[in-house]
């Protein structure tokens, strides 16, 4: 049925937010998804803003793919289309916010207000008591128009601590309970590159964020522990009838999402695109894969870490990830290295994002100062550093159009490859000196910039080898 003729759909929904990053909203969003999934409900989770890592945990908890929502990067039409589609099949929709409730422009609060989604604030209550009430009140009333669902205190020390916290929360701020600090068992599986701490974190972290759920064999047990803790709170004990108080009317989109076939040309029809996909190349939005398929491409996924060769293909996409953690295994796959070199020498397209670009470099100096050689197709050497080298929303002007996306990395690259342009923040003019370079090296295009493919499908098609050589500007594969 044409999306233009669909009716509005009601479904309970929550946007889970916090005063800042690091408050535990990912853990508790995943725990809430796991709790309701265990009770037999179909839960659809979304993530505000650009994020590759948190969605792994939400997908494990809910059993369903997780998409990003952002009023700038993905767009309002895409957000409305995905939420409307989810409401038709899901019993519950959960949306994890990004950073703090009002951080960024547009913010998670802007999304919640636009779509009338109830907001639940998760606050790290360690080291405070009645001040929790002040934080909750401020989040609730800082800007008008928010539909408030309440406050959940996290990392609470004891039952007495919870009583003090609850006493500070005003009635209209809706106390939803307290969750005591949950740690992983001492025997829990360690993860490559995970940060060490005195008490093992339930969801371990490393330099780009949470360790992905698929890298831990005990991921589901960790989520069950969090769900069990949440089940003891007023939020966890709400009846399903009470959840209907948080139902949202999701209207059908006025326009189809930008990655739907009816909105695109068949610019990749008949082309086969190989996509690296494993722990070294895991930064892939499901929506980007959907976009490529909607453009007509056939996708062939392969794992460099498993020793797999390059599938027969017309183009290669190397997404971001953690090549620095797996450099030895990547270099050991010499057959794949030779395949990629032959692919490049044949003039076939390669699009390499962030970690994918680093994997093609000569090598990387790790944070401890050691040198790790990599595939060496792209001239240049990378250096890991302790401070972020790039963070935030970006847009990249290419010869074929402007892509929206973001950047988030700790590495620097010194390369002699040809620069074609540079990304810039949404509020800056092109040419700013703090963006990410788009490099070209033969048929290779590479950047630290992570693209949201549906923001300009023609540009992505061109980066993957389709030609813009007709006078009308259409791409010809």
In this predicted structure, what is the pLDDT of residue 432? 66
Residues 144-171, mean pLDDT to the nearest whole number:
96
Peptide bond into 379 cis (omega under 30): no
What pLDDT does 216 receive?
63
The pLDDT of residue 188 is above 50 = no
pLDDT tops 90 at residue 210: no
Longest dimension (CA), the chain: 73
- CA–CA separation, 122 vs 149, rounded Å? 11
Q: Above 70 in pLDDT, residue 427?
A: yes
At 451, list the tokens: 């693209």
Domains of the chain are: 3-250 (3.40.50.300), 261-463 (3.40.50.880)
pLDDT value at residue 194: 35
Flag whether pLDDT at 241 surpasses 70. Answer: yes
Q: Which residues contact 221 (CB under 8 A, 6 or more apart)?
A: none
Q: Could you tell me the two tokens for 110? A: 């802007």
Q: What is the dihedral of CA 19, 21, 24, 30, to 10 degrees?
A: 110
Return the top range by mean pLDDT from 178-192, 252-266, 348-362, 425-439.
348-362
* Of 108, 99, 37, the residue nearest 72 (C-alpha): 108
pLDDT digits (tens, 9 = 90+) for 359-405: 999 999 988 889 999 999 999 999 998 877 678 899 999 888 999 99
Average pLDDT on 185-202 reads 44
For residue 329, the model assigns a pLDDT of: 97
Residue 35's pLDDT band (boundaries 50, 70, 90)?
very high
Report residue 253's pLDDT band, with 50, 70 and 90 as the boundaries.
confident
HEC assignment per residue over the chain: CCHHHCCCEEEEEEEEECCCCCCCHHHHHHHHHHHHHHCCCCEEEEEECCCCCHHHHHHHHHCCCCEEECHHHHHHHHHHHHHHHHHHHCCEEEEECCCCCCCCCCCHHHHHHHHCCCEEEEEECCCCCCHHHHHHHHHHHCCCCCCEEEEEEEEECCHHHHHHHHHCCCHHHCEEEEEECCECCCCCCCCCCCCCCCCCECCCEECCEECCHHHCCCHHHHHHHHHHHHHCCCCCCCCHHHHHHHEEEECCCCCCCCCCHHHCCCCCCCCEEEEECCCCCCECCHHHHHHHHHCCCEEEEECCCCCCCCCCCCEEEECECCHHHCHHHHHHCHHHHHHHHHHHHCCCEEEEECHHHHHHCCEEECCCCCEEECCCCCCCEEEECCCCCEEEEEEEEECCEEEEEEEEECEEEECCCEEEEECECCCCCCCCCCCCEEEEECCEEEECCEEEHHHCHHHHHHHCCCECCCCCCCCEC
Backbone angles phi, psi at 74, to 5 degrees: -95, -25
Q: How confident is residue 2, by pLDDT bands cut at 50, 70 and 90?
A: very low
Percentage of the chain surpassing pLDDT 70? 87
Q: In what order do the strands lie in the sheet with 401-409?
A: 390-398, 401-409, 450-452
Selected catalytic residue, list 48, 291, 313, 354: 354
What is the band of 186 on the pLDDT scale with cuts at 50, 70, 90?
A: very low
State residue 381's pLDDT score: 95
- Whole-angstrom distance, CA of residue 209 vs CA of residue 96: 15
Please say if the pLDDT value at position 343 is more than 60.
yes
Phi, psi dihedrals of residue 12, rounded to the nearest 5°: -60, 140
Query: Quick one: pLDDT at residue 9?
Result: 97
354 catalytically annotated: yes
Beta-carbon contacts of 198 under 8 Å, excluding residues fewer than 6 positions away, are none
Q: Would the pLDDT of 220 be above 70?
A: yes
């Amino acid at each position: 049925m044409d999306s233009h003729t669909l009716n509005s759909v009601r479904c309970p929904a929550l946007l889970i937010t916090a005063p800042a990053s690091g408050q535990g909203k990912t853990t508790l969003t995943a725990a809430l998804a796991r709790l309701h999934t265990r009770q037999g409900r179909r839960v659809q989770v979304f993530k505000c803003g650009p994020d590759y890592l948190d969605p792994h945990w939400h997908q494990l908890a809910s059993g369903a793919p997780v998409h990003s929502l952002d009023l700038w990067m993905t767009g309002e039409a895409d957000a409305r289309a995905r939420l409307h589609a989810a409401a038709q099949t899901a019993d519950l929709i959960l949306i994890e916010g990004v950073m703090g409730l009002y951080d960024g422009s547009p913010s998670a609060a802007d999304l919640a207000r636009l779509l009338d989604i109830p907001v639940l604030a998760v606050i790290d209550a360690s080291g405070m008591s009645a001040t929790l009430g002040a934080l909750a009140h401020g989040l609730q009333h800082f800007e008008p128009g928010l539909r408030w669902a309440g406050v959940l205190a996290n990392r609470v020390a004891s039952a007495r601590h919870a009583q003090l916290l609850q006493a500070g929360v005003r009635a209209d701020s809706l106390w939803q309970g307290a969750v005591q600090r949950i740690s992983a068992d001492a025997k829990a599986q360690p993860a490559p590159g995970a940060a060490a701490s005195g008490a093992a974190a339930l969801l371990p972290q490393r330099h780009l964020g949470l360790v992905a759920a698929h890298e831990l064999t005990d991921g589901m047990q960790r989520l069950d522990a969090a769900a069990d803790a949440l089940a003891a709170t007023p939020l966890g004990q709400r009846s399903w009838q009470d959840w209907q108080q948080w139902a949202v009317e999701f209207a059908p989109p006025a326009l189809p999402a930008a990655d739907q076939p009816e909105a695109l040309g068949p610019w990749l029809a008949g082309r086969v695109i190989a996509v690296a996909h494993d722990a070294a190349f895991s930064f892939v939005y499901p929506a980007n894969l959907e976009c490529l398929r909607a453009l007509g491409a056939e996708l062939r996924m392969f794992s460099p870490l498993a020793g797999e060769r390059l599938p027969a293909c017309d183009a290669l996409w190397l997404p971001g990830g953690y090549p620095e953690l797996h450099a030895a295994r990547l270099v050991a796959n010499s057959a794949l290295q030779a395949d990629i070199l032959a692919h490049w020498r044949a003039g076939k397209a390669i699009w390499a994002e962030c970690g994918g670009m680093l994997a093609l470099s000569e090598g990387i100096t790790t944070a401890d100062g050691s040198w790790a050689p990599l595939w060496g197709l792209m001239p240049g050497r990378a250096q890991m550093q302790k401070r972020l080298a790039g963070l935030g929303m970006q847009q990249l002007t290419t010869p074929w159009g402007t892509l929206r996306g973001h950047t988030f990395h700790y590495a620097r690259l010194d390369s002699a490859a040809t620069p074609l342009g540079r990304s810039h923040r949404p509020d800056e003019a092109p040419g700013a000196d703090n963006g990410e370079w788009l490099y070209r090296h033969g048929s290779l295009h590479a950047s630290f910039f992570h693209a949201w493919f549906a923001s300009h499908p023609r540009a992505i098609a061109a980066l993957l080898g389709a030609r813009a050589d007709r006078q009308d500007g259409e791409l010809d594969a």
